[in-house]
Structure 1
């Protein structure tokens, strides 16, 4: 890994370790060894974000674009 990629990983881990919010998963730990970089989060019981966006397990999990935009706008408002 380049020095820049290594620094970006370290910064991401530091930021994730400090963030506390009811709608975000907590950081449990990380691993950096050789060329591998892993970030470990809390367990998410209702499948993953990928499942909800792309419906890999069930069609009813799929988020349509209007709902995605509502979520994105709400997130942006929360950050502002």
Structure 2
């Protein structure tokens, strides 16, 4: 991994470690060894948002566009 990639990973982990919001998972830790980079989050029950929007649960998903926008706005608030 290049020095630039190492720096970008370190910055990303630091930012993710500072984010606190009720709709975002907390960062538990990370691992950087050799060419491997892992980011560990809290467990999320009921699958992921991606699964509900585009995966196996999408056909039965009750997330209409107003609800999706509310989720997006809530996530954005966690970054500010």
Per the normalisation by structure 1, the TM-score is 0.74
Alignment partner, residue 17 of structure 1 = 17
- SS at 2:29's partner residue? strand
State the Cα deviation string for residues 27-76 of structure 1 (Å, max 9, x = none): 00100011110000001112012202213245213756665445435655
Return the alpha-carbon distance in structure 2 between the equivalents of residues 74 and 23 of structure 1: 7
State the Cα deviation string for residues 2-49 of structure 1 (Å, max 9, x = none): 211111110011111111111110000100011110000001112012
Alignment partner, residue 54 of structure 2 = 54
- SS at 2:9's partner residue? helix
- Does the CA-based 8 Å contact 2:23-2:74 persist in structure 1? no
Unmatched 5+ stretches in structure 1: none
Per the normalisation by structure 2, the TM-score is 0.74
- The structure with higher relative contact order (CA 8 Å, sep 6+) is 2
